[in-house]
Homo-oligomer: A and B are copies of this chain.
């Protein structure tokens, strides 16, 4: 990557990055077209290969950019004081959705990347990716209070079942809101509905006071 790119007008920089994230996210690496990217970004073809050596190194730059942003705007914002597993997940879902709101193309790009699980990444990126996965695991499980759970349940397995329930709701919501822009939608009813599900999860998995 050419340092000239970083000295660019941030708006232009963002236009290029966004156009590329969208193209790579929708088409995958092979099928993504640099022609479409430059047209959508409103720059000449020459500039892209002035800033970046070639398609591949451009892709790697975007990957690193996205991983850094995930680290800074998602994982770093998880409140580790929350000891309640379900509340912790709820909180993570909220932060994640906020990130989805701000950078939808980037989230889609990362999603496509993770699905495709490429193996021939440069070592530095591979390491960063693995480090993030470890961190995500910690952010989800470290400091969780096991005592909240019913004593007769296998907590490790309960973690999985609850996590899957969360993923299911988020997937269904994502499918339902497909194509709509978040800022045009009032999300509060969905958060309320979500929280109803959480109440039920707590009701069945947690130790509740006897006299209810």
Contact = CB atoms under 8 A, between A and B. Distances in A.
A33 to B, nearest CB: 12
A22 to B, nearest CB: 17
10 contacts: A31-B31, A152-B203, A153-B200, A157-B197, A158-B204, A161-B168, A163-B168, A164-B169, A165-B165, A204-B204
Contacts of A158: 200, 204
Nearest to A162: B165
A23 to B, nearest CB: 14
A73 interface: no
A150 B200 contact: no
Given A150-B204, A153-B203, A204-B204, A197 B160 contact: yes
A184 interface: no
Contacts of A201: 161
A70 to B, nearest CB: 20
A154 interface: yes
A198 B172 CA distance: 22
Nearest to A168: B164
Contact of A153 (B150, B161, B165, B204): B204
A109 interface: no
Interface in A66-110: none
A150 B200 CA distance: 11
A197 B161 CA distance: 8
Contacts of A169: 160, 164
Interface string A139-168: 000000000001011100110110111111
Nearest to A170: B164
A83 B117 CA distance: 40
B205 A154 contact: no
Contact of A168 (B150, B160, B172, B205): B160
